[in-house]
Amino acid sequence: MTEQERKEARIRKTIELSKRAYYEGLEERESTWTEFLIRQLRFIRKRWWCLQLLILAVFWKILYISGSNPEACREVSVLMPLFGMVLVPELWKDVRYNVMEVENAACFTLRQIYAARMTIFGLADLLLLTVFFAVTGITVQVVLADFIVQCLIPLNVTLCICLGTLCGHRFHTEYTAVGFCIIWSFVWYQITGNEQLYQEISETVWAGLLLLTFAGLLFIGKRLLQTSREIVEGQSVWN
């Protein structure tokens, strides 16, 4: 072996040792899932949750004033799509500021970041809605089971629209998502405002629709995680 070959061999060995030391250092500093969620929580603007809380407060106030009027309960449920639309600015933050390439170059993948954000949004909204339904059930004379169905169906469909638009390739903008949500709000208002049509829909059908929306939400959320490797133009940013 010549002197040049020995130098090249030492250089390759040094590179391999450096790479090994780098990855070992990353493993030592690797965060747990809980720590990762807490870090992602710091990047989420809390004003959107305050706005969601305000929407629920307005929702409750209308119900409290109207009492046990079932028509008012159905019509006011049109506010639930607005509750879901509030998350649009945070979900589209990466696209709007063109930072997806930066996040893809970080230690955590974009898939992990989206998973963390959806987990945080889900837990926060679950807490808000649980408190809302509990307070409403105590202070307002409504059939809580029907009320939950009337609220969760439009909310779940709204979330499906937002997540589905985010992981799509043809209509990948927050304005498209908001537009589809507004159309869905109008459709839901027409359904709940039509007394004859509403009475023809049985409780079994409503329960089936609720389960269907949950299934759709899980499917679209999974699809978003699977397609999170692609940027807006559809080009892969890593292998």
% residues pLDDT > 90 (the chain):
3
Q: What is the pLDDT of residue 233?
A: 43
User: Are the beta carbons of 73 and 63 closer than 8 angstroms?
Assistant: yes
Mean pLDDT, range 61-84, rounded to an integer: 78
Within 88-232, where are the H helices?
88-91, 93-96, 100-104, 110-139, 144-166, 174-193, 195-200, 203-226
Mean pLDDT confidence for 50-78? 81
> What whole-number distance in Å separates Cα of residue 69 and Cα of residue 13?
78
Query: What pTM was computed for the model?
Result: 0.70
Percent of the chain predicted with pLDDT > 70: 77
pLDDT of 29 over the 90 cut: no
CA 32 to CA 131: how far, in whole Å? 29
pLDDT of amino acid 64: 83
Report d(CA 4, CA 190) in Å as an integer.
80
| pLDDT, tens digit (0-9, with 9 covering 90-100), for 115-160 | 778 888 888 888 998 898 888 888 887 777 777 888 888 888 988 8
How much is the pLDDT for 21? Answer: 63
Helices 144-166 + 110-139 axis angle, to 10: 160
With cut-offs at 50, 70 and 90, classify the pLDDT of residue 212. Answer: very high
